[in-house]
Amino acid sequence: MYWGLRLKIYCFLILILLFGCKQPEDTDLTYGGSAAYSSGNLPTKWTKSFPLNLKISNDFDANETEAINLAADNWEESTENKINFFTTSNENLNPRTGLSSYNDGLYGVYKLYDWPAELPSTALAVTQINGTQYSSYIRIDQADILLNYDYYTFATDGGWGYDLTTVVLHEMGHFLGLYHDNSSKEDSVMYPTIGRYNDNQFPKENDITKISSKYNVDISRGIASVPTQKEAGQAVKITLEMYPDKEIMKVNGHEYEITHDE
């Protein structure tokens, strides 16, 4: 991968992909991207006031909706209820014709039986983020969670398939600006793989530390404000795709391949 990209980014797109192949025992739950987008360099965060109004597609049944709401509630509880990250409501979310059409001002959780042609069929779930990069942080302007019901099965009762609350909890972490934590499944729900029968429904210590730091959560202080940025920037579109042995990053149509060292 060519890491010498020096970009001032005004508008960018991040795709966070959860990959699998014929539902193996462990599925990669991964995102692609350069070091510029990692939480260790530029924090990625919302600066709008919480709670965010998250729309849950009416295509989910009652049990699935309950599983999604549980994931949202558990992120709130992880901050000792200092931040109510989400309010949720059911919405008749119209079918989209392509990934760009999701950038519509709605924050949605989508149940897709017709997986977008732009995405690999092996992606279990995708978190798509549009935002604005400044010198000190990346502001999230728009985000959506897409769940691949076209190729995968999700469970709400401990049955066969990927546990829906576990998957959505992970994707909501990305939605809030967290990236992967490579420590272990026991230490973080943001660990980049997930087992078919994995049940990991509450943020772990690493996740709580990171989300609290990102949004300045303190028992006595609450949430600190983020200063308004007035920098100009250059428009750019970035899509990131993760595969088992490589990443593909496309910057304004130019493709860069990242291979993983063993």
Per-residue model confidence as pLDDT tens digits over 98-125: 888 998 999 999 999 999 998 888 888 8
Q: What local confidence, expressed as pLDDT, does residue 40 receive? A: 39
- Is residue 9 exposed (0-12), middle (13-18) or buried (19+ Cβ within 10 Å)? buried
Confidence of residue 178 (pLDDT cuts 50, 70, 90): confident
Do the domain assignments include residue 105? Answer: yes
Do the domain assignments include residue 51? Answer: yes
Is the Cβ–Cβ distance between 256 and 32 less than 8 Å? no
DSSP annotation of 260 reads P
User: Which of 237, 185, 181 minimizes the C-alpha distance to 214?
Assistant: 181
Place of tokens 């897409």: 146
3-state class (DSSP) for residue 44: strand
* Lookup: tokens for 14: 């991040």
Number of domains comprising the chain: 1
CATH number at residue 41: 3.40.390.10
Confidence of residue 13 (pLDDT cuts 50, 70, 90): low
* Mean pLDDT for the stretch of residues 45-70: 96
Confidence of residue 16 (pLDDT cuts 50, 70, 90): low
Do the domain assignments include residue 1? Answer: no
* Mean pLDDT for the stretch of residues 71-100: 92
Do the domain assignments include residue 155? Answer: yes
Confidence of residue 132 (pLDDT cuts 50, 70, 90): confident
Cα–Cα separations (whole angstroms), residue 81 to 213, 216, 217: 15, 13, 10
Do the domain assignments include residue 38? Answer: yes
Do the domain assignments include residue 4? Answer: no
Sign of CA dihedral 103, 142, 37, 175: negative
* Lookup: tokens for 244: 């088992």
pLDDT digits (tens, 9 = 90+) for 240-256: 443 333 334 444 444 54
Q: What local confidence, expressed as pLDDT, does residue 190 receive? A: 83
3-state class (DSSP) for residue 65: helix
Instruction: Lowest mean pLDDT of 16-20, 73-77, 187-191, 215-219, name the range.
Output: 16-20
State the residue range of the domain holding 202: 9-259
Higher-confidence residue of 20 and 89: namely 89
Kindly report the average pLDDT of the chain as a whole number: 75
| 236 φ/ψ angles, rounded to the nearest 5 degrees | -155, 145
User: Which of 177, 181, 231, 173 minimizes the C-alpha distance to 206?
Assistant: 181
